[in-house]
Structure 1
Amino acid sequence: MQRVAGALMGALIGDALALGCHWYYDLAELRQECGPWITDYLTPRPGRYHGGLLAGDLSQTGLLLVMLMESLIHCAGYEEDDFTHRLDTELFPQLDGTPMQGPGGYTNQSIREAWRKRVSEKRPWGACAGDADTTEGAERAIAIAAFFALQPKKMAEAACSNIILTQRDPAIVAMSVAFNAVLSQLISGVFLTPQMGTRLMAQATSGVLPFHQVTQGHLHPPQGTEKIQAGQFSSPDALLTAGYAALAAADPDIIIEPAWKVSLVYGMPCAIYHQLPGAYYLASRFREDYESAVLHAINGGGQNMSRAMLTGALVGAQVGLEGIPHRFITGLRDSQQYLALASEMEQCAGLNAKLR
């Protein structure tokens, strides 16, 4: 079903679809300027975020995802030195530390912080992460989840290594790695159902995922004394969020109508703890309908770019590349380049599965 390509293209399309209607926290203003229901790529209005770009362009977050895809393919795996060299030579020379500048028309907080520490303060990589509580690390690591989809331990290690380049809060890193653990499961062929939490907790119990077990099965107290291994996340709770969101989507007594109002239920802001539940909910409710999932993500306003990118990856993984409407692919600028990269990633992921 080309699930790897579906996840990658699903993420890039979600990113680009939100470019022209990004960061409208006043929903009346969003409807007035972008129409009552956004259905396609839009050119950002002058004076707003990403001004000067065209309909179908990627934001900087999307471009960073592409950069990591290229690095993974070039190195036949995750090599931190190669990726950071690309940041040093391809991205950072185009930044000046201010938000409304740089490729993609806007530079997010975590990247600005890393630029300041790396370029202005001359710090080494490993000492450039900041305190942003946003989703940039999770979004970038979509490439790693796709590449190592059938190797969850290697995926978690590589994703964590990449995410902590720019974000240092352990809770934010845990949620970011957990998102990509969910995505890897979907690429491997399962669907986002209420059982997802149980599946991921089993991997934590076996040591495949780096989450310390503070409880036993069904959240019962642990038996005996547990030794925490260095480098493990302190709590497995981030692994449970997707299952609970899927349970909400399946429960007939929980009604969010229309579905775009998920942004009002879980929150419109940028923080990852607002973004992930909404993305998980939409990706479960519309797990066989990519178009509905991303359009409801976009029309909810606020930080709809992250919501659409995360949702797009999750649903793209479930429907495969063929489940993404063709008009979204053709409307994405440079889509043939991205399709070629996604195809190479698909082949690499298949090879990695054989080498486990």
Structure 2
Amino acid sequence: MPTSFEDRAAGALLGAFIGDALGLGPHWYYKLADLRRDYGPWITDYTDPKPGRYHAGLKAGQLSQAGLILQLLLRSVVDCGGYDEADFCRRLDDDLFPQLDGTPMHGPGGYTSQSIREAWRRRVQQGLPWSQAGGHADTTEAIERTLALAVRYALQPHRLADAVAGNTRLTQTDDTVVAMTVAYAAVLGLLVQGERLDTGLSGKLVALSKSGALPFHTVTSGQLDVPHSGEAEPSRAGKFASPDALLTPSYMAAAAADPDIRIEPAWKVSIVYGMPCAIYHLLPAVYYLAARFHDDFESAVLHAINGGGQNQARAILTGALVGAQCGLAGIPRRFVDGLENSAQLEALAIKLASQIGESKPLREA
């Protein structure tokens, strides 16, 4: 269905929140038999976490800590009119960190992720500045919050890359993780613009890199063709080692479209690419689901959830990509209505969508 720019932007954000809340109950079941035992053959809606599980005590439709941190960054961007790193860091210091104790099973949202625990230790226990707070977690935790920046700067890929890379390094410093995080953000930015996650999307991303809008190293010409004789290598500070993170989305889209490659049922994408938390397991599955179900939000997020493992992150990231493609209007209303504080979250998403065309300089902590 036709969607407006603002509808796609709001759809991306609400899609992420919905994916987070859908994962609250069935999060991190690595034995699928146990998942089916506790939640039946097919999860269709928000569910309560079982006693003794990761988010025990919370209720169906509530956000995990990942969703709460996304909301924290989203509110900072809306209040400041753009990304203000110092403001976001202050909110983490004042609003989140006092509720943590450095252990996994403690804190708002029922579970505190590795990268946030490491940042808490460096900031609170060791008193280090934010420039030294990042650790080496190889997860998608930065993507789960910086998708708000991808939406905000969807029309400004260079600023998108700067903001997302800087925010990622607050908690995760591995260059490959940063590159893959920025690549996801660039994909989401193009989808908010109205592109579709298809076999041609990576070419558009590589073109942005060649133009200098995205900080990825490129040597080949065209679609990975031989470099032209005598062509100078681009020289830009801070470029990532290769454009490979930009190529993954279209390879996954090709797999989803190829009649000779079928993952049936689609939730088994988690088995094909892996159930663990690492970014290199999650992103291929996310891109596959977002390409295959580009206009079917419900199927996309439910297949993400029913695959088990790190299904919450899988659903957050899939929900954002498909929400951007189908728009807020394409998200079944029951998912919005069942989300706790949905009116507030929807208003925040719409407000950020209205700010996208505005310009505000980036500021550092």
TM > 0.5 fold call: yes
What residue in structure 2 maps to residue 37 of structure 1? 42
Assess if the C-alpha contact under 8 Å between 2:36 and 2:42 holds in 1.
yes
2:8 maps to 1:19: no
Deviates more, 1:210-219 or 1:95-104: 210-219
What residue in structure 1 maps to residue 292 of structure 2? 285
What residue in structure 2 maps to residue 103 of structure 1? 108
Cα deviation for residue 212 of structure 1 reads 1.1
Cα deviation for residue 227 of structure 1 reads 4.9
Distance 2:177 2:226 in 1: 25
Cα deviation for residue 65 of structure 1 reads 0.6
Cα deviation for residue 215 of structure 1 reads 2.1
User: Judging changes above 3 Å, is the alpha-carbon distance between structure 1 residues 44 and 198 closer, same or farther for their aligned structure 2 residues?
Assistant: same
2:279 maps to 1:272: yes
Deviates more, 1:150-159 or 1:209-218: 209-218
Distance 1:83 1:172 in 2: 21
Q: Which runs of 5+ in 2 are unaligned?
A: 361-365
Cα deviation for residue 245 of structure 1 reads 0.3
2:318 maps to 1:311: yes
Matches within 5 A, 1:126-141: 126-141=131-146
> What SS does the corresponding residue of 2:51 show, helix, strand or coil?
coil
> What SS does the corresponding residue of 2:356 show, helix, strand or coil?
helix
What residue in structure 2 maps to residue 346 of structure 1? 353
Matches within 5 A, 1:142-291: 142-223=147-228, 224=230, 225-291=232-298
Assess if the C-alpha contact under 8 Å between 1:64 and 1:140 holds in 2.
yes
User: Judging changes above 3 Å, is the alpha-carbon distance between structure 1 residues 267 and 118 closer, same or farther for their aligned structure 2 residues?
Assistant: same
What residue in structure 2 maps to residue 336 of structure 1? 343
Cα deviation for residue 352 of structure 1 reads 4.8
Cα deviation for residue 350 of structure 1 reads 3.8
Cα deviation for residue 220 of structure 1 reads 2.6
Q: Which runs of 5+ in 1 are unaligned?
A: none
What residue in structure 1 maps to residue 363 of structure 2? none
Distance 1:194 1:274 in 2: 20
Matched residues, number = 353
Deviates more, 1:222-231 or 1:143-152: 222-231
Corresponding residue to 2:51 among 40, 46, 50: 46
The two structures have a TM-score, normalised by structure 2, of 0.95
Deviates more, 1:221-230 or 1:147-156: 221-230
2:11 maps to 1:6: yes
What residue in structure 1 maps to residue 75 of structure 2? 70
Distance 1:186 1:97 in 2: 37
**1:224-244 deviation per Cα after TM superposition (whole angstroms, max 9, x unaligned):** 442542211111100000010
Amino acid at match of 1:252: P
Cα deviation for residue 16 of structure 1 reads 0.3
- Superposed CA RMSD in Å reads 1.1
Cα deviation for residue 326 of structure 1 reads 0.5
Assess if the C-alpha contact under 8 Å between 1:194 and 1:246 holds in 2.
yes
**1:323-352 deviation per Cα after TM superposition (whole angstroms, max 9, x unaligned):** 000000010001111011011011111445
Assess if the C-alpha contact under 8 Å between 1:41 and 1:331 holds in 2.
yes
The two structures have a TM-score, normalised by structure 1, of 0.97
**1:199-222 deviation per Cα after TM superposition (whole angstroms, max 9, x unaligned):** 100000000001011322221343
> What SS does the corresponding residue of 2:83 show, helix, strand or coil?
coil
Assess if the C-alpha contact under 8 Å between 1:3 and 1:320 holds in 2.
yes
User: Judging changes above 3 Å, is the alpha-carbon distance between structure 1 residues 352 and 96 closer, same or farther for their aligned structure 2 residues?
Assistant: same
**1:124-145 deviation per Cα after TM superposition (whole angstroms, max 9, x unaligned):** 0111100000001111111001
Distance 1:346 1:229 in 2: 31
> What SS does the corresponding residue of 1:218 show, helix, strand or coil?
coil
> What SS does the corresponding residue of 2:181 show, helix, strand or coil?
helix
Distance 1:246 1:273 in 2: 16
**1:70-98 deviation per Cα after TM superposition (whole angstroms, max 9, x unaligned):** 11111111111000000000000000000
What residue in structure 2 maps to residue 323 of structure 1? 330
